[in-house]
Amino acid sequence: MILLAVLFLCFISSYSASVKGHTTGLSLNNDRLYKLTYSTEVFLDRGKGNLQDSVGYRISSNVDVVLLWRSPDGDDNQLIQITMKDVNVENVNQQRGEKSIFKGKKSSQIIRKENLEAMQRPVLLHLIHGKVKEIFGSMSFFPPTSSFFLR
């Protein structure tokens, strides 16, 4: 879930812009699907020494973003849906070869099928002036019918 939050923050920060005295939100068009790709690396040994000797993993994902609703009042109040797809987990150090715990395994085997499914459930963000006011989505540790509301 932390990774999901980090990806959302990356997405929001890459699209929000500051103008002197005013913050504008995302510039998404209605009825248009935006396809983005994100990748992050997590080093378990805190990046000590050479990168070739580091221990960690890389998570990459395609992200679909859709504007679901925008306030007709023009006050930059909107609801967007974010869905992660094609989540891939791999070793950050490709030189380990046969020693790698990632060798020959699918992402669902590494991060468990339930966690992978939870990451790929849609999440709704309520944005006002480019800032997240509310997050709506499914909780990973409850059945898919459960949901959470974060303010």
d(Cα 124, Cα 104) in Å, to the nearest integer? 34
End-to-end Cα separation, the chain, in angstroms: 16
Structure confidence at residue 139 (pLDDT): 61
d(Cα 94, Cα 14) in Å, to the nearest integer? 29
Query: How do residues 88-145 score in pLDDT, each as one tens digit?
Result: 998 887 766 677 778 888 888 888 898 889 889 999 999 998 889 999 987 653 444 4
pTM for the model: 0.68
